[in-house]
Structure 1
Amino acid sequence: MNTPLKITAFAVALAATFGAAYGVGDVVVPIGASVDPAAHAGHEDGNASNREGEPGEHTRSGHNTPPGGLQIVENGYRLDLETPRIPVAKKSELRFTIRDGAGRKATAFKREHGKELHLILASRDLGTYRHLHPTRSPDGTWSTKVGLPAAGAYRLFADFTPAARGAENLTLGTDLAVSGSYRPAPLPAPAKVTRVGGYTVTLDGRLRPGAASELKLKVTRNGRPVTDLDPYLGAYGHLVALRSGDLAYLHTHPNGAPGDGRTKPGPTISFTATAPSAGTYRLFLDFQHQGKVRTASFTADADADRGAQGPAGSRSPEGPEGDHQH
């Protein structure tokens, strides 16, 4: 695995197949280098997201509903990726549509956290991450520019709620291939602390499989608490968690919102989340301060036997600064 490899259609399909085998045998297919996102004007250290609504985890009806992002079709809606392959390290346009049960391009969506649709991109090794806000043309085609620094297999998640009465939130997923040479990277060890762009973020709490738990993330700078976080997409922070192996998608809500009379603008941002199973997850927190969005990332274990304990591990080293893209 130390020899650079070339992505082929077979390799990408094989990676997707192994990734889906999570429930059978904890198979992890790491593809793509662990590289922070490339620079993007006005933001730093890109990696995560959320949406508005009531506090607490964004739930989906049905006790047996699988985690988000594992299916390309759900409740009659289908994610149709028109650009399934892009080159590495080159700004390229992604185009996709959301089609309804009749095969028509959907053009009506509810706005959540100021956007009709949130688009997440993550490499299979969870080393590269993007939270994007594409634009929709009148005919229902979504598009956005993106540059990815590492070749390999990626997962693309479309997070949206159709405007149809009674429609629930959906997260549909599909595979994206980024051509070029690549070296797989190991997942960082679990840790309570990470640094990004001169900020230190500390995680308090633990993901629990099958049960709701509170995760608190405290933001400091130069040893001082940051108490003037900017509202960003209707919240002081947005958190996405992806399960290592199959990249099951867990999108959580912050507890409270700017202007509600009780939620403070830092230093602590609180979330409620439920892990769909035991396993290892990669957490991505977006927060904005002084007009710039930064993303802090953590590796955390969801372990039923240690549900009350904080995540173990050493401090995450401060990596090269990247940017949050839209």
Structure 2
Amino acid sequence: MTKNILNLPVDILVNVLKKLGLSDLRNVILTCKTLRSLVVNDNTIWRSICRDKLILEDPLHNRSNNEQNWYNRCRISNNWCSGYFKNKVIVQFHSNYMPWLKLHNSEILAVSKGSELLCYAVDRKKIPNSKSTCWTLSVPTVSRNDVRTHDISRFVIRNNTLVCGNRDGSTAVYKIPYYKQKPLLLHHIQDCHENGQVEVSAVELIETSDFCYIVTASNNSQNIIFWQSNENGYNITDSIMDIPIHNGEGVRCMAVNNVMDKLAIGLDGNSKPLLLDIHIGKYLMTADSTRNSKQAIRDIGWHNNNTIMYVTHSGMLHLMDTRTNDFVRKTDQYYCINLKRSEV
């Protein structure tokens, strides 16, 4: 029977296999080496199965690599969803810190600890070396007349540039000459929002061939501010664009897409994000006028150029199509996703 199937043309055989379910494909893989090679290496079979699923993607590797075919993406994602993984303590704090993490270019792991930023090198197995740090950075602080700390609230790394937003209302911009070298301070914006009286809860870096913006926002301010650098570097003197937030709510997080023309904004106390066109400074997608702290957007990113992915405080994972403003997926299950811009 197997020999008769193998006599079929490859395109016809692939169309037959695309009609099978996941359990049936597993059985086909076990029949012979020829069918196993066809099922594993033909991406069209797995694209049709996983059209509506979240797939693990790693753009840092070559697409021709065997680890990048759709079979392995589905296999790894299924293992994460099913709980087949190992836990390993990489960095352990002895105090109650809630750090932010950034895995940059699979070379370094940056971890915020209070007002410090720790950098760990990544080995060949993509595991950070927690025994020693490449460098430790203490962000510049501003003394305020309130009880706020100087902790790092958010930071972003892109194209060897580091931007840190602090709880004391300031933002620091650094240049990373080499991932094992300590970053160089380029500029320190001391009063970002409300004359520095509120913390900077979200930062983003937008770099193109025509312009370079540093975007700051606060969960206690009703404006998003764009800061532009000059030709000599990040010598920032004043803001160039001040955009009010829909319904006057604060911002918890932001994320720019790969094309650098749209900014997804996660609101504080709202269940839906905003979508801002960077070129014209207008909102393409607005949120409901609700104030539900359980549905506040904790973190946000882009699954692709047309789909926003965000996580709420209640543990819900949402995927929203920016073209129709409809939910593509809404679930409270665990998924492993590697965004093309940042890491989750």
Which TM-score band applies after superposition, normalised by the shorter structure?
under 0.3
Compare relative contact order (CA 8 Å, sep 6+) and give the higher one, 1 or 2: 1
Rg larger for = 2
TM-score by length of 2: 0.25
Higher percent of residues as helix: 2
